[in-house]
């Protein structure tokens, strides 16, 4: 199933499931209990929202060997975690705003894990049952501030720096390799496979849950393959995860 969150203008219903004819609106949420309604809306009748509102976005640095090498970084022996604030999350088609503090903002195409239920000290072999599904993310990064600050809170934390979506796919086997690509104005910038991640989906969820309790709707970004590069006002950025979909965002000056 592909789950989307939409502004449907039908009461306060916001979750839906993708069907061939459109989006079937559901009562409730996939994290607690939900049930289908009779209403199916067309894609152009709704505004797509980020598929979740996380309490935190956990991200992992240098999880692809080829990307670590492009900045001469070592491969970490344990996952290198950092946080992005929930206020950085935007949905499909929304604009990434380039802050005035940076002159070198980069795209990072990533597959994202959506946590389905409260997770604390989860064993690697049990991790799958804590995952609602997978979606696409762009870990937008002010590369110059990442270097000058010596830590990553500002570089990774600006409003609009975490596009998510368009849908949560609940059927995919995270162990299967999925293509991760990024295009800017139609030009291919990044292409990798999640099969090449240093730490896999189950390891990342288990590791993160040993540090902090994961709540339903929390998101774990799984790292980016090589090819990161600048985006500037006027660009159109597309992150595509095979079988999940295309996350498209425009770029504007703040």
Minimum distance between the CB of residue 108 and Zn ion, rounded to whole angstroms?
Answer: 4
Using the contact rule CB under 5 A, the part of the chain among 33-41, 98-106, 107-115, 121-129 near Zn ion is 107-115
Contacts of 48 (CB under 8 A, 6+ apart): 4, 5, 6, 91, 92, 93, 165, 166
Give the burial class of 130: count Cβ atoms within 10 A of its Cβ; 0-12 exposed, 13-18 middle, 19 or more buried: buried
Please, which of residues 117-156 interact with Zn ion by CB under 5 A? 139
Contact 163, 93 (CB under 8 A): no
Provide the Cα torsion 191, 193, 199, 201; round to 10°.
Answer: 120
Using the contact rule CB under 5 A, the part of the chain among 83-91, 95-103, 119-127, 216-224 near Zn ion is 216-224
Would you count residue 238 as binding Zn ion (CB under 5 A)? Answer: no
Residue nearest to Zn ion (CB): 139
Binding track over 51-90 against Zn ion, x by CB under 5 A: ----------------------------------------
State which residue, 108 or 218, has the beta carbon closest to Zn ion.
108
166 prior amide bond cis, ω within 30: yes
State which residue, 206 or 224, has the beta carbon closest to Zn ion.
224
Residue 169: phi, psi to the nearest 5? -95, 120
Angle at 71 between CA 231 and CA 81, to 5 degrees: 85
State which residue, 108 or 240, has the beta carbon closest to Zn ion.
108
Minimum distance between the CB of residue 68 and Zn ion, rounded to whole angstroms?
Answer: 11
Using the contact rule CB under 5 A, the part of the chain among 99-107, 163-171, 224-232, 237-245 near Zn ion is 224-232
Contacts of 28 (CB under 8 A, 6+ apart): 15, 34, 35
Would you count residue 108 as binding Zn ion (CB under 5 A)? Answer: yes
Minimum distance between the CB of residue 145 and Zn ion, rounded to whole angstroms?
Answer: 14
Count interface residues toward Zn ion (CB under 5 A): 3
State which residue, 108 or 169, has the beta carbon closest to Zn ion.
108
Determine which residue in the list 224, 245, 248, 251 makes contact with Zn ion, applying CB under 5 A: 224
Minimum distance between the CB of residue 147 and Zn ion, rounded to whole angstroms?
Answer: 15
Minimum distance between the CB of residue 2 and Zn ion, rounded to whole angstroms?
Answer: 24
| CA end-to-end distance (rounded Å), the chain | 36
Residue 140: phi, psi to the nearest 5? -65, 135
Proportion of the chain in helix, strand, coil states, percent, rounded to 5: 15, 45, 40
Contact 76, 232 (CB under 8 A): no
Minimum distance between the CB of residue 110 and Zn ion, rounded to whole angstroms?
Answer: 6
Binding site for Zn ion (CB under 5 A): 108, 139, 224
């Amino acid at each position: 199933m592909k789950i989307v969150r939409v502004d449907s203008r039908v009461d306060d219903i916001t979750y839906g499931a993708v069907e061939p004819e459109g989006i079937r609106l559901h009562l409730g949420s996939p994290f607690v209990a939900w049930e289908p309604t009779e209403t199916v809306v067309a894609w152009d009748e709704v505004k797509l929202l980020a598929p979740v509102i996380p309490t935190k976005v956990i991200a992992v640095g240098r999880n692809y060997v080829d990307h670590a090498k492009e900045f001469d970084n070592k491969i970490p022996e344990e996952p290198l975690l950092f946080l992005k604030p929930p206020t950085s999350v935007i949905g499909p088609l929304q604009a990434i705003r380039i802050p005035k503090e940076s002159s070198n903002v980069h795209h990072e195409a990533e597959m994202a894990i959506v946590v389905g239920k409260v997770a604390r000290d989860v064993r690697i072999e049990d991790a799958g049952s804590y995952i609602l599904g997978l979606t696409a993310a762009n870990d937008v990064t002010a590369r110059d501030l990442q270097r000058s600050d010596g830590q990553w809170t500002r570089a990774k934390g600006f409003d609009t720096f975490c596009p998510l979506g368009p849908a949560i796919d609940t059927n995919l086997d995270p162990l299967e390799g999925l293509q991760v690509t990024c295009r800017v104005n139609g030009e291919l910038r990044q292409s990798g496979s999640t099969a090449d991640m240093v730490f896999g989906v189950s390891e990342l969820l288990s590791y993160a849950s040993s540090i902090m309790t994961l709540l339903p709707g929390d998101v774990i970004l799984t790292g980016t393959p090589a090819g990161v590069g600048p985006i500037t006002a006027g660009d159109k950025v597309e992150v595509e995860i095979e079988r999940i979909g295309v996350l498209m965002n425009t770029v504007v000056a703040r």
